[in-house]
Structure 1
Amino acid sequence: MKRRLRRIAPLVLVLFPLAAAAPAAAQGSATAESLFNQGLADMEAGKYETGCKAIADSHRMEPKPGALFTLAICESRWGHVATAFTRFGEYLALYQQMTPDQKSRQGERAKVARQERDRLGPLVPELSLSLPPGAPAGTVVKRDGRVVDGAQLGAGVPVDPGEHVVSTQAPGGAAWETKIQLAEGEKKQVELQVNGASTPSPSGASGRRTAAFIAGGVGVAGLVLGGVTGALTLGKKSVVDEHCGSGIGSSDETACDQTGIDASESASTTGLLSTIGFGVGLAGLGAAAVLFLTEPKQGEAATGAASRQIRAGVLAAGPGGVVLGASGRW
């Protein structure tokens, strides 16, 4: 994955005067000077892990533009393109604040920094991390041992190529960990998992609330069906009155002509549908209310404590009406 970036001749000309001037620039800080010289020697020997660390420690102890520039060069040669891109940007921002005399003492560094940023930009990978729906509040996400700020979740964040270790941990839960490999210039989106939260239990708060919405939707649909078919039944009743019994001049109220017979049969069907629709509607709304009212508290769901459970529904339906029932435990 990591490749050694080709050294270019101008960098040698830029870094050599820095090495010679390091004792003077250190202004009596022997430790910072020693770390810088050690880091520069390791970098030139291709020992980037120890070299970059020593230069970074020197710069932290005594911030200097030249040390920052050298650190960017070291990270770039090491293959840490995202870190190098950032370091060159920091150097250029610092360069803009310098006086003309200070800028002149920087030589070609600013020019090289711009060239390196232009070259490294397309090589910087981006990693976007996101939590699954239903992840508990307070879930901690870490990348390479460092906590990821919540504002960065879901956004593409520049990272160095190579392997990255990402973990999640919900409050009081077990940690979950994965390894993600990124190539230069690669952009990857990863939805993480959270132990105990990535697959919510249907009996938990989230599953119970979803069931309540479904039951409520069924209830509303049932009431609509009952209302529509009920209106049709009333319409058929007037037709029956006109084509049966006295409506056709018969003393037998059950006697009907063909139109009356058809209307009577149709009214019977729509009346049954209306009865069932209203029954299902009331049962659905009742079940939704029960599910909402008996939804377990967050603490109960987290600890797995037994919660109140109730099931409500239509047990039977027929021409004479519907039978509703409920069962469960408190």
Structure 2
Amino acid sequence: MTRCLRRIAPLALVLCSLAAAAPAAAQDSAAAEALFNQGLADMEAGRYEAGCKAIAESHRLEPKLGALFTLATCESRWGRIAAASAHFGEYLAQVEQLPPEQKSRQGDRPKVARQERDRLAPLVPELSLALPPGAPTGTVVKRDGGVVDGAALGASVPVEPGEHVVSTQAPGGSVWETRIQLAQGEKKRVELQVNGAEAAPAGGASGRRTAVYVAGGVGVAGLVLGGITGALTLGRKSIVEKHCGSGIGSSDETACDQIGLDAAESASATGLVSTIGFGVGLAGLGAAAVLYLTEPKQSDATAGATSSRIRAGVLAAGPGGVVLGARGAW
């Protein structure tokens, strides 16, 4: 009994698989027939684009010689002679593989297909695309949105008559595009162009030169800060003179009213900042001068390639103090 079950189990599995696949196949067959009938009606009504697409989908779902022959006929009427010629040739190749009794069922179709293929073949344009010598590895070539296989580059490929959009793009580069017009029967070879990789930003200053710019920028900013806060200090001192000592009728020069006290406190703070600012400014300019004077000389080409911009000054200011520094682009 066990041995019998072992023999039956694989067969049962196969039968179950076939049973599950049968409904799907039946659905595809029904859809293919409906698409074919719709496509045939569109073709006969002159709606070739819709008709050819429906027939092509029907043939994809259920490949049949009749659908393939009708697809080629539709494409020929639509003007897609390259596709029509190829499909007529495909139909004839498949017919040749049929047994004699099945071949005879095709009637006059093989004769018509052969005549149409031979008539269309001389009318089909051919396009050859070639990359320039030294094109970067990985350059992508596209024709009408589809990627052209590397093996097809340089070969004459049948295409439809009319306009074709061809583009190239190297890794890291921008797209180069051209439009090519082909008449019936025309053969054309096109040498493509390839844009190089996007240029890297111009080489900046050396690390030492960058330090010169930074130190100089901070030095200038320090002097600017010292000047601004120094002017503020002088302004506060005039207020102190008016609101302290004899300015308020007091013999005690340290006696001040509230305005004088506030001005004195503010003058003390801005005076300190001014002193620090001038100190930082002089130190920064001195360091920049030393770095610049001791820097190794650059070649003219390198110096010309350097493009730096520095803006120094007070970057932020508020009641609690100010921030000095430099902004630049290299």
User: Normalising by the residue count of structure 1, what TM-score does the alignment of the two structures yield?
Assistant: 0.52
Q: Supply the distance in 2 between the matched residues of 1:114 and 1:302 (Cα, whole angstroms).
A: 55
Distance 1:327 1:162, change over 3 A: closer
Secondary structure at 1:195's aligned position in 2?
Answer: coil
Pairs within 5 Å for 1:204-215:
none
The structural deviation recorded for 1:196 is: 2.2
The structural deviation recorded for 1:177 is: 1.7
The structural deviation recorded for 1:179 is: 1.5
Pairs within 5 Å for 1:166-315:
166-196=166-196, 303=200, 306=203
Indicate the residue corresponding to 1:31 in structure 2: 31
Distance 1:108 1:327, change over 3 A: same
Q: Supply the distance in 2 between the matched residues of 1:109 and 1:137 (Cα, whole angstroms).
A: 47
Q: Supply the distance in 1 between the matched residues of 2:46 and 2:97 (Cα, whole angstroms).
A: 32
User: Normalising by the residue count of structure 2, what TM-score does the alignment of the two structures yield?
Assistant: 0.52
Secondary structure at 1:167's aligned position in 2?
Answer: strand
Unaligned segments of structure 1, at least 5 residues: 1-25, 198-300, 308-325
Q: Supply the distance in 1 between the matched residues of 2:51 and 2:172 (Cα, whole angstroms).
A: 40
Query: Which amino acid counterpart does residue 117 of structure 1 have in structure 2?
Result: R
Indicate the residue corresponding to 1:160 in structure 2: 160
The structural deviation recorded for 1:328 is: 7.2
Q: Supply the distance in 1 between the matched residues of 2:196 and 2:138 (Cα, whole angstroms).
A: 14
Q: Supply the distance in 1 between the matched residues of 2:159 and 2:184 (Cα, whole angstroms).
A: 10
Secondary structure at 1:107's aligned position in 2?
Answer: coil
The structural deviation recorded for 1:84 is: 0.7
Indicate the residue corresponding to 1:69 in structure 2: 69
Query: Which amino acid counterpart does residue 168 of structure 1 have in structure 2?
Result: T
Kindly tell me the number of residue pairs found equivalent between the two proteins.
184
Q: Supply the distance in 1 between the matched residues of 2:132 and 2:201 (Cα, whole angstroms).
A: 21
Q: Supply the distance in 2 between the matched residues of 1:136 and 1:72 (Cα, whole angstroms).
A: 39
Indicate the residue corresponding to 2:103 in structure 1: 103
Query: Which amino acid counterpart does residue 163 of structure 2 have in structure 1?
Result: E
Unaligned segments of structure 2, at least 5 residues: 1-24, 205-298, 304-330
Indicate the residue corresponding to 1:148 in structure 2: 148
Query: Which amino acid counterpart does residue 85 of structure 2 have in structure 1?
Result: F
Pairs within 5 Å for 1:39-58:
39-58=39-58
The structural deviation recorded for 1:134 is: 2.8
Secondary structure at 1:189's aligned position in 2?
Answer: strand
Secondary structure at 1:88's aligned position in 2?
Answer: helix
Query: Which amino acid counterpart does residue 106 of structure 1 have in structure 2?
Result: Q
The structural deviation recorded for 1:58 is: 0.3
- Provide Cα deviations, 1:42-91, integer angstroms capped at 9, x if missing partner: 11111111110000000000000000010011111111111111001110
Structure of higher CA gyration radius: 2
Identity of aligned residues (%): 75
